[in-house]
Amino acid sequence: MNVLILGAGQLARMMSLAGAPLNLHISAFDVNSGNTVHPLTREVLGQGLASAIERADVITAEFEHIAPDILEQCQASGKFLPGAEAILTGGDRRIEKSVLDKAGVNNAPYNVINQREDYDAAISKLGLPLILKSALDGYDGKGQWRIKSTEDVEATWQSVEAFLADADDRQCVIAETFIPFDREVSLIGVRGANGDTAMYPLTENIHTDGILSVSVAADDNHALQQQAEQMFKAVADALNYVGVLAIEFFDVDGTLMVNEIAPRVHNSGHWTQQGAWVCQFENHLRAVCGLPLGDTSRVAPTAMINMVGHVNVPQAIMSGCHLHWYDKAPRPGRKIGHINVTAASREALAEQLTTLSQALDSTEFPAVKEAAERLR
């Protein structure tokens, strides 16, 4: 089967690695160059979207910020899963929020801001503190503003106004109530075309400067898992979703609130490569190719540590870890790989992370020590 992935980054690369044993032939469409490339070597395989669509049996995506005309072309082929509606939902916070409301899942109260009146209305309706997010193109915490107190109101508006003036007509800003969460967790699940679902255990996520640093899958909180699974089903059913869908949550004193969704394989699911029977990349491919879903059970407590920017990884740590490089040149704030660590127990994982935090430079890997402490 020929699978075309929109996007040619590390997620397409890892799907291609997971698809090879299933005899799936994966190519990646680089939306920037308009070329179809090999997801590992980046060798150019063809030019233009039309011929790539023609050759594909199935089309899917590794990211949600895709131009509407590309989505339309893929949708028209009848081969696109999870499809244009799901990708648009993940790529536009305005649509995303309305889908979350329609699905009846708990999420932060919000207001859409196009002009000053909306901004003032958001502040009086939602109160302070507030978090503002660009509706389109946001990732890794980019395109966000925080209003902590009334002193910030004017300066933030200046910045938002300038941003909107520069942006294209489809752009706007979403104001959300600031949620004082205890921690952030995410659920990665997969839904087949027949409506079957399979879900991985919740992962706890630690961010640094808006970028995911560490994800840990070692929790056995059944009540929380049930809440998350019920919300996953509600959202996935509302979108008639096919493939892997990620949901980020705030845990507020044992009650989950959806932060955002990602209609694709997700960074907080990379641990499944070593930590679960069938990883998220394989499960996404299984779902979109109409194959039976794979077992999402956890094999062992596992942590995933992102490598961001220029990092030094001592060779010695390889004996106890799996390294996944993306073959990307390091740039500040750029994800260039990750490390998966598995252990026999939660305690053993804490031990291993402590050892790692001593071996790795804490400025390059800012959250490893904290991840170890949270496990204790």
- Name the minimum Å distance from CB 371 to ligand ATP: 16
Q: Strand order in 2-6's β-sheet?
A: 44-47, 35-37, 25-30, 2-6, 58-61
The answer to whether residue 140 forms part of the interface with ligand ATP (CB under 6 A) is: yes
Q: Which of 92, 248, 251, 282 binds ligand ATP (CB under 6 A)?
A: 248
Please give the annotated binding residues, written as ranges: 93, 133, 138-144, 176-179, 184, 207, 259-260
Helical (H) or strand (E) element with 202? none
The answer to whether residue 184 forms part of the interface with ligand ATP (CB under 6 A) is: yes
Asked whether the beta carbons of 305 and 341 are under 8 A apart, the reply is yes
Q: Which is nearer to ligand ATP, 127 or 210 (CB)?
A: 210
The interface region with ligand ATP, picked from 112-120, 138-146, 228-236, 364-372 by CB under 6 A, is: 138-146
Q: In terms of DSSP H, where are the helices of the chain? A: 10-19, 49-55, 68-76, 84-91, 93-103, 116-126, 153-166, 222-238, 272-275, 280-288, 346-359, 368-375
Would you state the structure tokens that stand for residue 63, as one six-digit string? Answer: 């990211």
Q: Which of 9, 178, 234, 355 binds ligand ATP (CB under 6 A)?
A: 178
> From residue 344, how far is each of 3, 298, 349 by CA, in Å?
36, 11, 7
Q: Which is nearer to Mg ion, 260 or 282 (CB)?
A: 260
Q: Which is nearer to ligand ATP, 210 or 292 (CB)?
A: 210
Q: Within 13 Å of residue 193, how many CA atoms lie on the same side as its CB?
A: 12
Asked whether the beta carbons of 174 and 163 are under 8 A apart, the reply is no
Helical (H) or strand (E) element with 174? strand 173-177
The interface region with ligand ATP, picked from 27-35, 79-87, 171-179, 319-327 by CB under 6 A, is: 171-179
Contacts 24+ apart (CB under 8 A), 117-120: 119/157, 119/160, 119/175
- Name the minimum Å distance from CB 138 to Mg ion: 6
Which residue's Cβ lies closest to ligand ATP?
179
| DSSP state letter for 269 | G
Size of the site for ligand ATP (CB under 6 A): 17
- The helix, strand and coil proportions of the chain, stated in percent and rounded to the nearest 5, come to 35, 30, 35
The interface region with ligand ATP, picked from 162-170, 178-186, 269-277, 337-345 by CB under 6 A, is: 178-186
- Name the minimum Å distance from CB 129 to ligand ATP: 8
> From residue 5, how far is each of 62, 192, 262 by CA, in Å?
7, 18, 16
Partner from ligand ATP, Mg ion, none contacting 207, C-beta within 5 to 8 A by type:
ligand ATP
Q: Which is nearer to ligand ATP, 131 or 336 (CB)?
A: 131
- Name the minimum Å distance from CB 357 to ligand ATP: 22
- Name the minimum Å distance from CB 117 to Mg ion: 27
Annotate each residue in 62-81 with x if it binds ligand ATP (CB under 6 A) or - if it does not, as one string: --------------------
Partner from Mg ion, ligand ATP, none contacting 184, C-beta within 5 to 8 A by type:
ligand ATP
The answer to whether residue 94 forms part of the interface with ligand ATP (CB under 6 A) is: no
Gap between the Cα atoms of 109 and 119, Å rounded: 14
Asked whether the beta carbons of 26 and 5 are under 8 A apart, the reply is yes
The torsion angle over the Cα atoms of residues 126, 152, 100 and 224, rounded to 10 degrees, is -90
Please give the annotated binding residues for ATP, written as ranges: 93, 133, 138-144, 176-179, 184, 207, 259-260
Provide the 10 A C-beta neighbour count for residue 254. 10
- Name the minimum Å distance from CB 22 to Mg ion: 29
The interface region with Mg ion, picked from 120-128, 234-242, 253-261, 331-339 by CB under 5 A, is: 253-261
- Interacting residues with ligand ATP (CB under 6 A): 108, 131, 133, 138-142, 176, 178-179, 184, 207, 210, 248, 259-260
Q: Which residues bind Mg ion (CB under 5 A)?
A: 248, 260
